[in-house]
Amino acid sequence: MIHLGLLGYPLSHSLSPKLHGAAFAALAIHGEYLLYPVAPGAIGGLAELARHMRDGEIDGLNVTIPHKQAIIPLLDELTPSAKAIGAVNTLYLNNGKLIGHNTDAPGFLADQARFLRNSVIEKKALVLGAGGAARAVVYALLKDGWKVTLAVRRADLNQARALIEAFEPQIGSSSMDLVMMEAGDLERLGSRTQFIVNATPIGMFPETDISPWPNGLPFPKEAAVYDLVYNPRQTRLVEAAQAAGLRATTGLGMLVEQAALSFACWTGRDVPREVLFAVVEA
């Protein structure tokens, strides 16, 4: 039996157990996928799970907010992509070593391509947030040739600057800008923004009545909107963008893609995407 799970906090909203349960069933694998809620700052809880993995009691873990960076000091190695991003979402054992990997970036790119369908003329993106999820999104966009503007709250300025400093040696400073997540700054970007990505947890269950986009600020007229938050199914950001006549979607497709990539990492088996999409569409 293979023992998998999800590390994060909070986890009551997660669809991951259903996704991986469907993957087990589709591939006739005997396994379980459990939730491991560990509150922010609870280093002892992170260390305990790392120990359980090294002891072979857990075969693999997904990692979500707020531990995608906090878990790194407890790992033995990072894969090249995880090291470049500076955040992990997948843990596995290799020859007794605890390895941190990141399937968020390729998962995001796969779903983004499905969503945009090569409809963007100028690759200029606005990414809201600077945490672990934002690092994966920014890494993916920069690798795909996008120019990225990062928008953050004032409390997250140092985190945003650290993100930019981490990526500058790889892509150069000309590919990234930084603005405040405030109406004045966002309005000054004007129509240059073709793609808006919310990589913050703002609007996630249970606080579903809020949006990261400033109230009353019009969206860029030609932009597409992608909200990594997938619970609720229609976030306030997506609803507002669609009401403005824009194409908008949540991160359910990214959830499917990164889950499939993590599952393949743990089992060596490729689960059919239609199996996982059937779960989230239900």
pLDDT in tens, 165-200: 988 776 655 688 999 999 999 998 877 899 999 999
Q: Which CATH architecture has domain 2-102+255-281?
A: 3-Layer(aba) Sandwich (3.40)
Task: Give the pairing type, strands 195-198 and 176-180.
Answer: unpaired
pLDDT level of residue 154 (50, 70, 90 thresholds) = confident
Which residue out of 68, 83, 143, 221 is catalytically annotated? 68
Statement: residue 28 has pLDDT above 90: yes
Known catalytic membership, residue 83: no
The answer to whether 163 and 228 are in contact (CB under 8 A) is: no
CATH fold of 105-250, please?
Rossmann fold (3.40.50)
**Positive/negative CA dihedral, 116, 197, 9, 131:** positive
- The predicted-structure confidence for 36-51, as pLDDT tens digits, reads as follows 999 999 999 999 999 9
Statement: residue 61 has pLDDT above 90: yes
C-alpha distances in Å from residue 179, one per residue of 32, 186, 188, 254: 43, 7, 10, 26
Phi-psi region of 184 (alpha: psi -120 to 50; beta: other; left: phi over 0): alpha
Sketch the domain layout of the chain as residue ranges.
2-102+255-281, 105-250
- E strand segments, 44-123: 60-63, 77-78, 90-94, 97-101
The answer to whether 22 and 275 are in contact (CB under 8 A) is: yes
| The two domains 2-102+255-281 and 105-250 share their CATH topology (first three levels equal) | yes
Q: pTM of this prediction?
A: 0.89
